[in-house]
Chains A and B, each alone.
Chain A
């Protein structure tokens, strides 16, 4: 039996699903924010690759 569009399970777990969704969204926002802060700092440096510095 396939799930109908609004199965009872969807209603029952709505709170849980919304909660997990919000946590994941917050996680993405935090990673994005942290990356932004780190790369825009004055002392931020990208490590040069070995091949690039050797001129190969």
Chain B
């Protein structure tokens, strides 16, 4: 027995509070919080600031709970992928049972309290989002189809719709189009990344479009989804959440995004490798700005509208 093993604490791997918090996927939660907040504020019905704060918090907790349930179910594949091997379960900090218990408890808590704080339409949408992400995406389709990114993107697209429903108590064209914005943005965003980053999904037997259908098909998919995205994103500008700031932002960003997608579709691997995937990397960076700027512009227009700037 070595000297080091004699002095090693048997509790070295004991979970700290941060490990339990990491189960909730805090990075994903930031997007959930931001888009839910925009959905809530863009709604034509005013909400008491504290109720609004609680609504966004409960939506974030619900999103976090589905993250914990995803980590519970996917712990086998998380352990074999470099990107996810340090997550609390594969790292041996938190047990699968603990993750399941936390995920289920927080799911029920978030749905019930969102219902009590706002209304049951919003709570129902949150419950459906958790079900969709955990059961439809994680358990059923993620390991079955290379379109898994599209399905996962749908789960991540619900928060602005829930935020809107928390304020208004219903679903409208504007809230559905806000859903479409994130839903259609996810595939080109992720597939652009998959083109220039080697991912180890193969080891985990998760089908990725770049592997199952090849890089040529992935490039075409990026273009198709970008065209669809442009239609829905600019269309959102003509609903009640749209305004001059949103329309200007959307037209400009969609023109740039389409240009990038056309370039990606026209390139082959030899060209991409020659310039170290310059176009794909630029497109990916633009995609981050794209989503943030679109929701940010909705927020700006909502603010200007409340201040009576547009008359």
Contacts and interface: CB of A to CB of B under 8 A. Distances in A.
Contacts of A19: 16-18, 20-21
Interface string A14-41: 0110111000000000100110010001
A7 interface: no
A12 interface: yes
A37 B17 contact: no
A11 B18 CA distance: 16
Interface of B: 11, 14-18, 20-21, 48, 50-51, 54, 57, 116-117
Contacts of B20: 16, 19
6 contacts: A19-B20, A33-B50, A33-B54, A34-B54, A37-B50, A37-B51
Nearest to B21: A19
Nearest to A19: B17
B54 A16 contact: no
Q: Give the secondary structure class of A's interface.
A: helix
B112 to A, nearest CB: 12
The 10 tightest CB contacts between A and B, nearest first, are A19-B17, A16-B17, A15-B16, A37-B50, A15-B17, A33-B50, A37-B48, A34-B117, A12-B11, A37-B51
B17 A20 contact: yes
A47 B21 CA distance: 40
B50 A34 contact: yes
Interface residues of A, number: 12
A37 B20 CA distance: 31
A3 to B, nearest CB: 16
Given A13-B14, A18-B17, 15 more contacts: A15-B16, A15-B18, A16-B16, A16-B20, A19-B16, A19-B17, A19-B21, A20-B17, A30-B54, A30-B57, A33-B50, A33-B54, A34-B51, A34-B54, A34-B117
Contacts of B117: 34
Contacts of B18: 15, 19
A25 to B, nearest CB: 14
Nearest to A22: B17
A15 B20 CA distance: 12
Contacts of A34: 50-51, 54, 116-117
B168 to A, nearest CB: 17
A20 B155 CA distance: 29
Contacts of B51: 34, 37
Contacts of A18: 17
A30 to B, nearest CB: 6
B190 to A, nearest CB: 32
B15 A16 contact: yes
A12 B14 contact: yes
A50 B298 CA distance: 48
A51 B17 CA distance: 50
Contacts of A12: 11, 14
Contacts of A13: 14
Nearest to A13: B14
Contacts of A20: 17
Contacts of B21: 19
Contacts of B17: 15-16, 18-20
Contacts of B11: 12
A40 B311 CA distance: 32
